[in-house]
């Protein structure tokens, strides 16, 4: 194989109570990488579309470029060169794991072209290196679900321990991206560094509840557990109309609604596609009430991760 | 029915990472209440055995007495009087939920004699009131599993939301009670009131991992998740020989080992009865190395809660 086209899914990290430890993948939006072998060593980024000219073409500044570079070093094949075209099919800085999806698509494509010497899960550290460039730290709550699909728990970062769990079949996600921007680094810097023990306990209860709710297909328990008492009260300040949009989602029947990643996108989970679509209408409507344009995506929980397209 | 004899099980609260939110019941030790109807209103505690004379006979100072009193008020039957005998079949102040077991046995016995107007789960608030007397606050991580059996998650205290989850069949608990004493109020007062966000995240990862490990019968995941980075490092200081005993448990094959409740008892979880028994020998041996006598109990996870005996 000389060329491969790979689509990697967007992801919702944090998932209310699960700051840095929960994430899930959706079917759309996502990022596409077209990777082509070339005869000489080195990676060249030939084009990036859909980024409004904002992403660097230099390999060492690009999440996918770095991920591929680290991968080649690991398998001892820096002699193999690639030309990469990157098509962003989702907004940058939206809280939907845009940089993670690019890194995952890139490293997955490279592994395909090299004859799959590594398993899908073994690609994770290289995609995380890409994330380090974008966010300043190597988080796994976007690259994990984008690479593996489904809902993941990052039990531990050191050593890395990622658990994939099944979700109820009738669980659907609504993601709404408003036309405002939040920088991930800013969104992290405003967080409190010390958490009251009482809030830690409350959050742990919801983390346990959400994990059990998903594994037991208990929608009521999922709904009760989709509460974030630590991060959301602070980060939601950066998102105009947050309260109104969340209220609209809940009134339309969502099981829960919170910030996707570090925002400004919001996600909601619902039982059934029909409800998830009603929730999308309600959420975009609530943004529109404040004259904020937004785009909505409705999908099941993506169980596949990246696909050759 | 004029008289009933009820045995309620001891419990392990906290369970490593799950401070205030996890607890499970064991088969032994436990507390026994013999409750007898009497013709006049009011509760009389006729005798308490096994407490070395340390527990008060006054109803309003006794966890079981208070639990029964609150229960009678709730069902509007304060006209019914009882005589209660309480047999402590476990050490006081051991971290095994001694006060909780008494409260549960008492209120369960009263409900039996009144013709079961309330369900087992509905008895929880009254048993918690008993706990308030003993601990100064109404925790549910001992009364919950003692009353309901099995492994419980307390997702929320306000409103109270308790989830019972199934555990793998081959999971066994070892509990070792050393002859030293820790006051629950002291053990709580030495805790930090503010937790670094990084430690909160680490703990949440283990909470999610333990919940998933139990539900998926993944013993390896249970083992990796039985880590407490918040409470154990502080409370273990109060328990002589803690590190040595924990190391002995792990070397003998335990999945994990930590403090039971607020100590000084330690618990370990193991796969298989045989390993749990080896772990008991190793733990008591490690206490003995420091000339500390200890008593060990090995049992499966109690799935029944209180029983009429």
Q: What is the DSSP string of B132-148?
A: HHHHSS---TTHHHHHH
Task: Compute the average pLDDT of residues B99-127.
Answer: 96
One of B11, B63, B174, B184 is an active-site residue; which one? B184
A309 labeled binding residue? no
Question: Do A200 and B200 lie within an 8 Å CB cutoff?
Answer: yes
The confidence score (pLDDT) of residue A132 equals 86
Nearest to B195 among A197, A215, A216 (CB): A197
Is the pLDDT at B284 greater than 80? The verdict is yes
One of B131, B174, B211, B284 is an active-site residue; which one? B131
The confidence score (pLDDT) of residue A222 equals 98
Question: Do A204 and B205 lie within an 8 Å CB cutoff?
Answer: no
Judge whether A131 counts as a catalytic residue. yes
The reply to whether CATH 3.30.230.10 applies to domain B3-165 is yes
- Please give the span between the terminal C-alpha atoms of chain B, in angstroms, as a whole number: 14
CB B181 within 8 A of CB B294: no
For B188-197, B226-235, B288-297, B299-308, which range has the lowest pLDDT when averaged over its residues? B188-197
Note the pLDDT tens digit of each residue in B188-201: 788 888 999 999 99
The confidence score (pLDDT) of residue B131 equals 85
A98 labeled binding residue? yes
A41 labeled binding residue? no
CB A24 within 8 A of CB A271: no
Q: Would you list the domain boundaries of chain B? A: 3-165, 171-300
Task: Compute the average pLDDT of residues B158-173.
Answer: 95
- What percentage of chain A's residues is helix, strand, coil (to nearest 5)? 40, 30, 35
How far does B293 lie from chain A, in Å, by closest CA? Answer: 34
The confidence score (pLDDT) of residue B192 equals 85
Q: How far apart are CA A231 and CA A249, in angstroms?
A: 19
How far does A220 lie from chain B, in Å, by closest CA? Answer: 12
One of A11, A63, A184, A284 is an active-site residue; which one? A184
| CA closest to A20 among chain B residues | B201
Which of A124, A118, A151, A159 lies closest to A140 in space, CA to CA? A124
Judge whether B194 counts as a catalytic residue. no
CB B154 within 8 A of CB B141: yes
The reply to whether CATH 3.30.70.890 applies to domain B171-300 is yes
How large is the C-alpha radius of gyration of chain A?
A: 19
How far does B161 lie from chain A, in Å, by closest CA? Answer: 9
B95 labeled binding residue? yes
Chain A, chain B: beta-carbon pairs less than 8 Å apart: 130
β-bridge mates for residue A23, sequence order: A13, A152
Task: Compute the average pLDDT of residues B167-183.
Answer: 92
A191 labeled binding residue? no
Interface of A with B (CB under 8 A): 17-22, 153-157, 161, 163, 165, 191-197, 200-212, 215-216, 221, 224-225, 230
- What percentage of chain B's residues is helix, strand, coil (to nearest 5)? 40, 30, 35
How far does B165 lie from chain A, in Å, by closest CA? Answer: 8
The confidence score (pLDDT) of residue A186 equals 74
Q: Could you report the average pLDDT of every consecutive run of 10 residues in chain A (309 residues)?
A: 96 97 96 96 94 87 94 97 95 90 97 97 94 80 95 95 94 96 74 93 98 98 98 94 98 98 96 98 98 96 94
The confidence score (pLDDT) of residue B189 equals 83
Share of chain B above pLDDT 70, in %: 99
Residues of B in contact with A195 (CB under 8 A): 194-197, 200
């Amino acid at each position: 194989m000389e060329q491969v086209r790979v689509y990697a899914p967007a992801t919702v990290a944090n998932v209310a109570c699960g700051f840095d430890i929960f994430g899930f993948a959706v079917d759309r939006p996502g990022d596409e990488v077209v990777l082509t072998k070339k005869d000489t060593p080195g990676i060249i980024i030939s084009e990036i579309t859909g980024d409004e000219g904002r992403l660097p073409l230099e390999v060492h500044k690009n999440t996918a470029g770095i991920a591929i570079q680290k991968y080649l070093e690991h398998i001892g094949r820096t002699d193999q060169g690639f030309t990469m075209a990157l098509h962003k099919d989702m907004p940058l800085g939206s809280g939907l794991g845009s940089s993670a999806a690019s890194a995952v698509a890139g490293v997955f494509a490279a592994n395909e072209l090299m004859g799959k010497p590594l398993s899908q899960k073994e690609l994770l550290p290289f995609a995380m290196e890409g994330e380090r460039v974008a966010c300043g730290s190597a988080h796994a709550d976007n690259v994990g679900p984008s690479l593996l699909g489904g809902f993941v728990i990052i039990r531990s970062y050191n050593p890395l321990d990622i658990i994939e769990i099944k979700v109820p079949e009738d669980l659907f996600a609504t993601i709404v991206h408003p036309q405002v921007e939040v920088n991930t680094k800013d969104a992290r810097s405003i967080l409190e560094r010390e958490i009251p023990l009482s809030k830690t306990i409350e959050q742990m209860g919801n983390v346990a509840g959400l994990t059990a709710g998903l594994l037991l297909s208990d929608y009521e328990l999922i709904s009760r557990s989709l509460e974030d008492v630590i991060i959301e009260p602070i980060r939601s300040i950066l998102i105009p109309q947050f309260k109104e949009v969340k209220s609209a989602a809940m009134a339309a029947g969502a099981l829960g609604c919170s910030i996707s990643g570090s925002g400004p996108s919001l996600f909601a989970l619902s039982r059934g596609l029909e409800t998830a679509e009603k929730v999308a209408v309600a959420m975009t409507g609530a943004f529109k009430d404040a004259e904020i344009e937004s785009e909505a995506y409705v999908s099941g929980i993506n169980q596949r991760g990246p696909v050759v397209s």
